[in-house]
Amino acid sequence: MPTASNGSVSLYYEADGDGETVVFLGDVGYGAWQWGWQHGGLSGPFETLVTDLRGAGRSDAPAGPYAVDDLTADAQAVLEAHGARRVHVVGAGLGGMVALELARLSSRPRSLTLLGTAAAGADLSLDPLFGAPDDPDTLESSLAAALSREFVDANPDVVEQIVEWRAAEDATRDAWEAQAAAVEAFDISDRLYEIDCPALVVHGSDDAVWPVERGRRLAEGLPRGSFVELDAGHLVGIEQSRAVNDRLFGHVESA
């Protein structure tokens, strides 16, 4: 099992495929399962590198609260351990904030793809997304805040599989709150001009937790930002996986 270390924190990651590296940084509380819809679409022509943020999955969960600075340093440690110098970064929610800060502070990112995220996290009500890993009922019911009702009703088998993955990989309440604190404290609204790599912002029009207007403002504030709105809830990469993968592939390939 490959791991990297940031001080005393052990961070899990896995890589697959060849070519330029695409690294995936996940959302509050979720394990690496959330990238299953993108991983298979890019592995082969690209190397995909998936890591669990501290607090979730197979990475350590030190006491919180966490800050985006901590998670950015974690991402740097993973990239150093893997030997990846220049990468394309895909981030969702909290992971999108980490991607933004990584691009602001370093020259590693060739491109950014940002799913359901924002330049600032104040006043977001993230709590509906939490489901206790040892409580299958809350794992399923909390998906109502992450996925549209139409998707949930049409895909019961997918929902059942997601619940199983969440039970195995998602953050406990304490670790979830530590990650959520990083979102609440983050704000680079007035520093987006410092990020000069091409950035694709993708947002679900029915996102009940991260309002679509925040994604639109993020794209407008980035010097090389573009915005795509898709008919989906917060987990747009799952609901609209084909549309997201097509745009992601084209964005990475052209960067």
Give me the chain's average pLDDT, please: 96
- How high is the pLDDT of residue 200? 98
| Alpha carbon distances (Å) from 19 to 23, 82, 103, 107, 214 | 12, 14, 21, 19, 33
- How high is the pLDDT of residue 109? 98
> pLDDT by residue (tens digit) across 156-167?
999 999 999 999
The Cα 92–Cα 54 span in angstroms is 15
Q: Where are the alpha helices (DSSP H) in 17-67?
A: 36-42
Given a cut of 80, whether residue 34 has pLDDT beyond it is yes
Choose between 95 and 85: higher pLDDT. 95
Burial class (CB in 10 A: 0-12, 13-18, 19+), 193: exposed
Structure-block tokens of residue 9: 């924190």
- How high is the pLDDT of residue 41? 82
Regarding pTM above 0.85, the answer is yes
The Cα 169–Cα 52 span in angstroms is 9
- How high is the pLDDT of residue 111? 98
> pLDDT by residue (tens digit) across 170-185?
999 999 999 999 999 9
Of 113, 108, 112, 58, give the one whose Cα is nearest residue 83.
108
Given a cut of 90, whether residue 44 has pLDDT beyond it is no
Given a cut of 80, whether residue 1 has pLDDT beyond it is no
Given a cut of 90, whether residue 49 has pLDDT beyond it is yes
- How high is the pLDDT of residue 135? 97
> pLDDT by residue (tens digit) across 111-166?
999 999 999 999 999 999 999 999 999 999 999 999 999 999 999 999 999 999 99
Given a cut of 90, whether residue 255 has pLDDT beyond it is no
Given a cut of 80, whether residue 27 has pLDDT beyond it is yes
- 210 C-beta neighbours (distance < 10 Å), count: 27
Q: How many residues does the chain have?
A: 255
- How high is the pLDDT of residue 40? 80
User: How confident is residue 233, by pLDDT bands cut at 50, 70 and 90?
Assistant: very high
Domain ranges of the chain: 3-254
- How high is the pLDDT of residue 190? 97
- How high is the pLDDT of residue 182? 98
- How high is the pLDDT of residue 39? 83
Instruction: Report the CATH architecture of 3-254.
Output: 3-Layer(aba) Sandwich (3.40)
The answer to whether 49 and 89 have CB atoms below 8 angstroms apart is no
Q: Within the chain, how many helices (H) and strands (E) appear? A: 10, 8
